Amino acid sequence: MKRVMTSAAVLALSAGIAQAGGVERSTQSVGILFEKGNYLELNFGAFNPKVSGSVNYGPYGSPSSGDMAPGYGTFSFGYKQALGDKWDLAIIVDQPVGAKVNYPAQDAPPAGYPAGGSKASIYSTAVTGLVRYKLPNNFSVYGGIRSESVKGNVELSNGYTMTAAPDTAFGYVIGAAWEKPEIAARVALTYNSKIKHSFRVTEMDNPSLPFSTTVPESVNLEFQTGIAKDTLLMGSVRWVHWTQFDITPYLYNLGTRTEENPDGEALVDYSDNTITYNIGVGRRFSDQWSGAIMFGYEKHTGKPTGNLGPTDGYKSVSLAASYQATDNIKVTGGIRYVDIGDATTNPPVNGSFSGNSGWGAGVRVGISF
């Protein structure tokens, strides 16, 4: 059972794909803590979504937005060091949040889509240090500190621009796990704290008041167990408190205030939290080869979305294969298809986005020593 592909390996290939409007780029898995001995891993991923919609102007036509979601890549790195029989140390570098929006330039409405020419980007890097302590009866506890750096920019079709300078802030991770090595069973429950950032900002090319954004807290439940010889059932449930997240620059908010809405609007926010499910099966075919299939699901809410993230839930299927190149080196690769949930964007655009999807691919190289 030791060479059957683990849930962590497959979940790594799922990172950064069509979650929470495309903002979430990491599953924040702690699976590296449970690798045997000392271990190093590199993960590379790419995702190419196709997301387009239209707006209905009645007799004036229904201009299309064009594909507004360019492809992007992801990278993560992890290192785990065994510190005797009871203690383990791990360092993880990843990209917890990110966005890349680029609406093709359009003629003015009603000839063109009203958000045409709008662009937005979010970039992040996180470094997480974890320590694990093994308790009796196959239980363990773990925790650590996360340093997270985030920056972003936006250009809207109405001429509004904003740049948020990089900000670094800190959060924490705590969790507990139970294992039964005889059947490759493991259950790990992890809490990731929210991280509050305060950004120095320019709006319309001039310094503006700073604003705060919270990268939300989350809870991960990761599990796996052997269900037959050389066969592993695996999966995860992830809850993210996305109602904590909003991007509300001062001048943008000021320009959206009216008598009917004296508080104005956020540039980006979410009205619902998310629960993401993954379930799959791994199978060892030989001493060198194993494979897995995994299905993912995030609920479609049916509520209007922001114009910079016109997606609502998804369904996905992933296929992965792992090759034990040597006693110490394992290479895992996979592909993922995502059926992106239909969405209607907030007024006044009221765009309708449907029939969208995306393909992703990932490679992990793991080295034990």
Q: What is the pLDDT of residues 105-146, one digit of tens each?
A: 999 999 999 999 999 999 999 999 999 999 999 999 999 999
What local confidence, expressed as pLDDT, does residue 347 receive? 85
Tell me which H or E stretch contains 8.
helix 7-12
Owner of token pair 């320590």: 131
CA distance 176 to 361: 31
- Whether 311 maps to a domain, the answer reads yes
- Whether 54 maps to a domain, the answer reads yes
Tell me the pTM: 0.94
Residue 299 DSSP one-character state = -
Q: Parallel, antiparallel, or unpaired: how do β-strands 87-94 and 161-180 relate? A: unpaired
- Whether 196 maps to a domain, the answer reads yes
- pLDDT of 2 higher than 90: no
Tell me the per-residue pLDDT of 218-229, one tens digit each, with 9 for 90 and over: 999 999 999 999
What local confidence, expressed as pLDDT, does residue 365 receive? 95
Owner of token pair 């803590």: 33
Averaged over 338-365, what is the pLDDT? 93
CA distance 121 to 208: 19
- Whether 357 maps to a domain, the answer reads yes
Q: DSSP letter string over 75-101? A: EEEEEEEEETTTEEEEEEEE--B-EEE
CA distance 313 to 356: 11
- Whether 1 maps to a domain, the answer reads no
What local confidence, expressed as pLDDT, does residue 256 receive? 92
In the chain, the number of structural domains is 1
The rounded percent of the chain whose pLDDT value lies above 90 is: 89
- Whether 345 maps to a domain, the answer reads yes
Tell me the per-residue pLDDT of 169-213, one tens digit each, with 9 for 90 and over: 999 999 999 999 999 999 999 999 999 999 999 999 999 999 999
**Band of residue 34 on the pLDDT scale cut at 50, 70, 90:** very high
Tell me the per-residue pLDDT of 61-94, one tens digit each, with 9 for 90 and over: 999 999 999 999 999 999 999 999 999 999 999 9
- CATH of residue 243's domain is 2.40.160.60
- Whether 362 maps to a domain, the answer reads yes
C-alpha angle 189-27-79 in degrees, rounded to nearest 5:
85
Tell me the per-residue pLDDT of 225-277, one tens digit each, with 9 for 90 and over: 999 999 999 999 999 999 999 999 999 999 999 999 999 999 999 989 999 99
Closest CA to 74 of 361, 312, 365, 367: 361
- pLDDT of 18 higher than 50: no
The answer to whether the beta carbons of residues 42 and 66 sit under 8 Å apart is no
- Whether 175 maps to a domain, the answer reads yes
> Domain containing 44: what range?
7-368
What local confidence, expressed as pLDDT, does residue 16 receive? 46
Tell me which H or E stretch contains 42.
strand 39-50
